[in-house]
Structure 1
Amino acid sequence: MAQKIKALTPILTAQPVMPVVAVESARQAVDLARALAAGGLRAIEITLRTPAALDAIRCVVEEVPETACGAGTVLNARQYDQAVAAGAKFIVSPGATMEVLDAARDSAVPLLPGAATPSEIMAMLEEGFELLKFFPAEQSGGAAYLKSLAPVFPSIKFCPTGGVSTKNVNDYLSLPNVICVGGTWVAPKAAVEAGDFAEITRLAAEAAKLGKA
């Protein structure tokens, strides 16, 4: 497990914001990944929320090699295996079940599991995970909640996702137990649908400059 954490760490530390996107086609995903990479965000989480997601991951892996493409909203072992077969470099789940954990244990592709309560965090520690997704971040207590967890779980680093925006992103990034945040604002749906990838590159460039206070 330590080796897998080691593989995931450089992906999460390379940029302050992980774009979390749902795409309608593989071509859209490739254009989006290129626009984000041009702005300095060279890792992307494509969520398995659309029928195009697996093909999108496959095409981004093949056509945008500078981007580390991961799969998000992975809910079971079948999806885990499908994402790995598509070439995903990392897997993100909103929570953690024994089925998903078993799939992670059997795979070389690292998992970022979700945990939001002290008991869930303790369970993940027992399984060897020290990098966790915190979802839905704002609805689960936000930055103030994560701050209260830091002295209790000093080895844990979180990627909070859900409700994170330009208005509160620095509240999260200033915390010692936040490794990066997941955000949708860097790839707004309207800009993607309009093909305004220059705007997405601009937003990505702004996000790439964010840092811990």
Structure 2
Amino acid sequence: MTRSFSLSLLTIGATLSMTAGLALAGSDTVSSDQILNALKPKSATRGLSLGAQVDPAVTAREAAKEATILNKLRNRQTRSLSLGERQEIAEIAANKPKLDLEIHFDYNSANISKGATRAVQELGKALSDASLKGSTFVLSGHTDAVGGEAYNQDLSERRADTIKKYLVEQYGLNGSNLVTVGYGKSRPKDANAPFDPANRRVQVVNMDTETAAQ
């Protein structure tokens, strides 16, 4: 079975404990504006207007904890992350602005296919936008359930690394602000259909607007 990512986009924005999703079904081109809108931090005003109570002291402690974890992971080799560290990233990312890019890769490879280059270019344009300056992004690789656990874990890590390398080399992004992680087949987008190609993706998460390396 061809192990490639199909091109589509699912965007999910998070504000405090509130989340909202937008699916661009049938779209064969993902624009940098769409990516940018998905990754922009959401205003806390919406959450407050819905009655959410925010303790500034708690928020500050959580932000400091997140920054400590992210700083520990900067410039780490993707395959060096432990299961516990991957879990920490997932917990922090849960309520952050994020999107899933399903990008074609060559068969049994981490090489981006020619047909998917434009999607990665649009991602590069979006992450280069001034409005996202100061952000740390997590690039997480995911696969479907076809194949063994070790195989998929390695493949997901290599594909996340490929996207990071492209963004650094082609768009001059600071590699220290791109944290890569692989989840193999452990976190399918559709848990009810683990073999679905939609589970093959690279997820991009804006972890914070004040955690970038100086």
Scaled by the length of structure 2, what TM-score is found?
A: 0.30
Scaled by the length of structure 1, what TM-score is found?
A: 0.30
Which structure's relative contact order is higher, taking Cα pairs within 8 Å and 6+ residues apart?
A: 2
